[in-house]
Structure 1
Amino acid sequence: MRTVYVNGDFRPENEATISIFDRGFLFADAVYEVTTVLEGKLVDFYGHMARLRKSLSELQISLSLSEANLLDIHRKLVSKNNITEGLVYLQVSRGPADRDFVISEDAETPGVVLFTQEKKLVDNALAQRGQKILTVEDQRWRRCDIKTVQLLYSSLVKTEAHRKGADDVWMVLDGEVTEGSSNNAYILTEDNTIVTRALSNDILHGITRQAVLQCARELQLKVEERSFTVDEVKAAKEAFSTSATGLVNPVVEIDSDVIGKGTPGEVALRLREVYLKASLAAAV
């Protein structure tokens, strides 16, 4: 049985509770981060904590726990649950308050929950065969840069993709790809340029995205941060996604059209290899 962290206490998962009046439960008034664990160490931890602070600031939620406190909690959970490879999820809600659309500053006591998930990330069958993607209209609220727990639309469309035999979706806004259900999207053009949508309110500012683009530049690959269409994906040499849960994941098909040779691309696989090496070297 897993040990989890709830509002200052480590406890067995079956003894963990939050208030039914928590605004994270009632209004999805909460943000989260997920940090990769490789060889028992935390990958890109400080980047995730910086983004957490930004998300909290955007929602005007104050958190008294310091970065050092959060690192200690993460490490203790990894140790207590014997996680060598997997994930640590952190959620911070505004906390409990009497149900009202108007946010009461007086009642604000942030709720903090962390839990681990054991998962194979490196030896990943999906990365080895490549993802099949379906496109859907992006109907999320337009502050996708804030990592809130409002994930219902992403969950619904990814579930529908699985029912249709695909692995994930790429969302399309005004004819251009924004991102996946829980990942950033990329193509490799015929002239070997990596293209990914520029940072804005329309996409999550991925921590893995930032690290992978740095790896690409160190490999002297050309990178363009701009929007691209579904037709550009279909004509691309390669495509892939990045996330803390998938690392670098090749894409081999979109809307039943084969991308490139229909197999994981060399550049995507090389980036995955280089990113893994760099991540392990910098993990804490």
Structure 2
Amino acid sequence: MRTVYVNGEYLPEDEAKISIFDRGFLMADGVYEVTSVLDGKLIDFDGHYARLERSLGELDMNNPTTREELLEVHRELVAKNEIVEGMVYLQVTRGSAGDRDFVYPDPETTKPTIVLFTQSKPGLAHAPAAKVGWKIITIEDQRWARRDIKTVQLLYPSMGKMMAKAAGADDAWLVEDGHVTEGTSNNAYIVKDGKIITRQTSNDILHGITRAAVLRFAKEAQMVVEERPFTVDEAKAADEAFVTSASSFVMPVVEIDGAAVGAGEPGPVAARLREIYLEESLKAAI
């Protein structure tokens, strides 16, 4: 049985409890982060902590912890649950004021709720899917306008993943005004004539921690990166496509809406970026 963390306590998962009045449950009034674990160490922890602080700030929510405290909790959960490869999920909500109200509770009297748990994912770094690539479908982006805040309101992305599953695909790319915004839980890229193209950061997409690292590594490897929106037609005509996220790292995309991308198999740019990302991230893991 897993050990989880709830508001300062390490507990067996079946003893963990949250109030039915918690605003994360009633209003999706909360934010989250997922940090990958490889070789028992945390990948990009500081990036995830910085984004957590930003998300909390955008929602006028107090941060109930410090970097050092949170790092200790992550490490303790990894150790207690013997995670070699997997993930640590962190969620902070505005807490419970003891009733339901649209108005925010007074932060002086209502403390945020903080929860963490681990997920063991053996073979995460060497996922078989990376060798064959993902098939994706495109769907209309019907999410709210502040996708840059990593909130727990993930219903539409979940619907998108179910649409993909029903279509026999691995995931969905969200499309707005003819242009791809991002995947349901990842950032989207195409490669054309050696150039990596991905949408620039704004309120339209999540500011991916893995995205930032991969683009930095790409530039260091003298790859050309162009940050701009791209269309679905551009994606279908690309030489390669891929996505990035904390759990999939760099994952090739080989088919879009039934049309093969490039040769219909993972390409060299995605493969090289995945290799570089894993190598460099393991070096910097804490």
Q: TM-score range by the shorter chain?
A: over 0.9
Distance 2:38 2:160 in 1: 29
Per the alignment, in what secondary structure is the counterpart of residue 139 of structure 2? Answer: strand
CA offsets per residue over residues 82-115 of structure 1, 9 Å max, x none?
Answer: 0000000000000002201111225421000000
In structure 2, the partner of 1:7 is 7
In structure 2, the partner of 1:57 is 57
The question of whether the paired residues in 2 share the 8 Å contact of 1:36 and 1:42 is answered with yes
Measure how far apart 1:64 and its partner are: 3.2
Question: What TM-score, normalized to structure 1?
Answer: 0.99
117-126 or 219-228, which deviates more: 117-126
In structure 1, the partner of 2:180 is 177
Distance 2:110 2:252 in 1: 43
Per the alignment, in what secondary structure is the counterpart of residue 159 of structure 1? Answer: helix
Measure how far apart 1:48 and its partner are: 0.3
Superposition map of 1:249-268 within 5 A: 249-268=251-270
1:20 correspondence with 2:23: no
Distance 1:281 1:96 in 2: 40
AA of the residue aligned to 2:269: V
Per the alignment, in what secondary structure is the counterpart of residue 155 of structure 1? Answer: helix
AA of the residue aligned to 1:258: A
Distance 2:202 2:281 in 1: 25
Distance 1:124 1:251 in 2: 14
CA offsets per residue over residues 228-273 of structure 1, 9 Å max, x none?
Answer: 0000001100000000010000000000000000001111001000
Distance 2:165 2:217 in 1: 31
AA of the residue aligned to 2:252: P
Tell me how many residue pairs correspond in the alignment: 283
81-90 or 115-124, which deviates more: 115-124
In structure 2, the partner of 1:79 is 79
Distance 1:209 1:108 in 2: 35
In structure 2, the partner of 1:196 is 198
Measure how far apart 1:126 and its partner are: 1.3
Distance 2:113 2:38 in 1: 27
Distance 1:71 1:110 in 2: 18
In structure 2, the partner of 1:163 is 166
Per the alignment, in what secondary structure is the counterpart of residue 161 of structure 2? Answer: helix
2:132 paired residue among 117, 129, 142: 129
Alignment RMSD, CA only?
0.7
CA offsets per residue over residues 20-69 of structure 1, 9 Å max, x none?
Answer: 00000000000000001000000000000000000000111102311000
The question of whether the paired residues in 1 share the 8 Å contact of 2:64 and 2:114 is answered with no
AA of the residue aligned to 1:11: L
The question of whether the paired residues in 1 share the 8 Å contact of 2:24 and 2:94 is answered with yes
1:112 paired residue among 108, 114, 119: 114
1:99 correspondence with 2:100: yes
Distance 2:259 2:7 in 1: 48
Distance 2:225 2:6 in 1: 41
Distance 1:65 1:157 in 2: 33
AA of the residue aligned to 2:53: R
AA of the residue aligned to 1:24: G
142-151 or 117-126, which deviates more: 117-126
Question: What TM-score, normalized to structure 2?
Answer: 0.98
Distance 2:45 2:126 in 1: 22
The question of whether the paired residues in 1 share the 8 Å contact of 2:250 and 2:270 is answered with yes
Per the alignment, in what secondary structure is the counterpart of residue 46 of structure 1? Answer: helix
Measure how far apart 1:121 and its partner are: 1.4
Distance 1:266 1:212 in 2: 15
In percent, how many aligned pairs have the same letter?
63
User: Unpaired runs of 5+ in structure 2?
Assistant: none
Distance 1:118 1:270 in 2: 26
Distance 2:160 2:209 in 1: 23
CA offsets per residue over residues 105-134 of structure 1, 9 Å max, x none?
Answer: 254210000000011311101111100000
Per the alignment, in what secondary structure is the counterpart of residue 122 of structure 1? Answer: helix
Per the alignment, in what secondary structure is the counterpart of residue 17 of structure 1? Answer: coil
Distance 2:274 2:151 in 1: 27
AA of the residue aligned to 1:63: N
